[in-house]
Structures are given as C-alpha cells and as structure tokens.
Structure 1
Amino acid sequence: MGIHYKDAAEGDDALIAEINTTPLVDVMLVLLIIFLITIPVVNSSIFVSLPREANPVQDAQAQDVIVTVDAEGALYWFDTPLTARENLEPLLAKVAAMQPQPELHIRGDARADYDSIGYVVYAAQRSGIARIGFVTEPPRAP
C-alpha cells in the first residue's frame, strides 16, 4: 500500500507550477503612484510654519519667484539665504524687468514678525512687481 498521486493528465486539478506575479505588480504600481504624488509636494527645503487660510488652488508655474521668510525674519531667495535685506531689491528689479513678468510667491512663517514680511512686500512694490501671492496651508478639517 502506497500513496498514489494523480498524473496531470488524470484530472482537472493539476498543479500549476508558475509564480503568480499579479499581486507583485499591483503593489509596485501602488508604490509608483504614491511616489509620483508625493515628490512634487516636497518643493522647498526650508521649514516654515505657514499660516492656515482657505484660498483657491492655483497651479505654480516654473518661472514663479519664491521668497521665504522664516520665523526669525531671515530672507531666502528660493532656497538660497540672503545675507542682507538690501540684497532682495536688486533681485526683484531683475524679475520685474522680465516679460512676461513672473509672479512673486511669499512663503512667510506664521511666527515671523510683520516687519519682515512687510519689507518683502514693500521691496516688491518698489521694484515694480505686479503680482504678489502668499503661500498658505489649507485650514484643518473639523
């Protein structure tokens, strides 16, 4: 008496000796989608606590200029720190001369003094920047 195994030709329940790659492909596609969504969100390396305010969503254009004001009042041109406040106006004057003129986006920390952010707005006005926007975070859902 021994154990009898069916041959593949004997029945419908033949063993399949292939690896099912469908779950692997599904997981990889989900990870790819997650990375594609999260990478553009990380657009600046300077941490600031943005004020929470509801505003309509606009697509940022590649030529938009970003000036960041951190909690201590330090100014950054994109991700480059400005050594003195007076260095901002010449940069803004170059931007104001461009055609079409880029939009200025101010990323001001919610803890920053009004004086620091007001200086950026004043310098933009003196330089002739026509469009200024403030970058905020959406309010928390209740």
Structure 2
Amino acid sequence: MGMSAGGGNAARGGRRGRRGGRGRGGAISEINVTPLVDVMLVLLIIFMVAAPMLTVGVPIDLPQTQAKAMNSDTQPITISVNPQGEVYLQETPIAIEEVVPKLEAIATTGYNERIYVRGDTAAAYGVVMKVMARISAAGFKNIGLVTQQEQQK
C-alpha cells in the first residue's frame, strides 16, 4: 500500500508535464495574431473618426474666454484691427498688403513665430479674416486670437 511519486501516468507509460515534445519553459513558435488584429481594427476606427476633425477650418489657437493671463518673457508679435478697419503691427499702422513682408522681416524663429491677432468687437469680421488669411497663406503656423478675460458677475 505504498504511494508512487510518479503519479498515475508514469505507470501507464505516459509523459507527465510534456505536450508535443516540448519541455517546460521552452520557446513557443506559435504567434497568436488575434490580439494584434483587434488592436489594428480599433486603431483603424480611431483614425477614421479623427482624420476629418484634423482638417477643419483655419489652423489657429483659439483662446478660451475664462483662460488665465499669458505669462511671456518676450513681447509677442501683435497685429491689431481697430473699429475703422485700420491694421496695426505692434503700434505702427500698416496697409494689409504690407502685413506678410513685415512679419517675415521681424520673425526671429521663422514661420514658427507666435503671432497674436487682436480684433476690436466693432471691427468688421471680413477685415480680421483677411489679415488672418494672409498670415496663414504666407506659411505662419502659430496664429492666435486675443480676447479679454471674462468678468465674473
């Protein structure tokens, strides 16, 4: 009435702990592609949904009305449009045709220079859009609209 340490399979000639001739911890040459296919399909759906959103409108950074004030060490390039439709580069009045050449002359980091467009609330929307369109068409990438912080009631 003794117990065998080999188990029931050893007496019958079976192999304990082995399957198909591979030992424990051996390399498995089979690759399960099901998780890979699942991940690829999810990524495909994400890119199909996100792609149309990336190409909508003029590429500008719109500030939120409740955003905090900007902390900047250097004075940014600012283009302003007053209620009469006159365009100013910093504090100097210029013609709309001169906006791009003057920006290219003073931009220290090239077309990656941050440019802020300030439009008066009474200024014509068309004039502000003409200025922004010229700046964007010239190749400047970082165009932002400046607003005032919303007053709490």
TM-score of Structure 1 vs Structure 2, range by shorter chain = 0.5 to 0.7
Determine the structure 2 residue equivalent to 1:120.
131
Q: Which runs of 5+ in 1 are unaligned?
A: 1-51
User: Could you state the TM-score of these two structures normalised by the residue count of structure 2?
Assistant: 0.51
Q: Secondary structure at the match of 2:132?
A: helix
Q: CA RMSD in A?
A: 2.3
- What is the CA–CA distance in structure 1 between the aligned matches of 2:127 and 2:110, rounded to whole Å? 28
Larger radius of gyration: 2
Matches within 5 A, 1:98-137: 98-99=109-110, 101-137=112-148
CA 1:100/1:93 → structure 2, altered by over 3 Å: closer, same or farther? Answer: closer
- What is the CA–CA distance in structure 2 between the aligned matches of 1:57 and 1:97, rounded to whole Å? 24
Q: Which runs of 5+ in 2 are unaligned?
A: 1-63
- C-alpha distance after superposition, 1:57-99 (max 9, x if no partner): 33234252110110111000100011x2101121123355735
User: Are positions 1:57 and 2:57 aligned together?
Assistant: no
Runs of 4+ that moved beyond 6 A: none
- What is the CA–CA distance in structure 2 between the aligned matches of 1:71 and 1:100, rounded to whole Å? 28
Q: Indicate the percent of aligned positions where both proteins have the same amino acid.
A: 24
User: How many residue pairs end up in the alignment?
Assistant: 90
- What is the CA–CA distance in structure 1 between the aligned matches of 2:139 and 2:106, rounded to whole Å? 9
User: Could you state the TM-score of these two structures normalised by the residue count of structure 1?
Assistant: 0.55
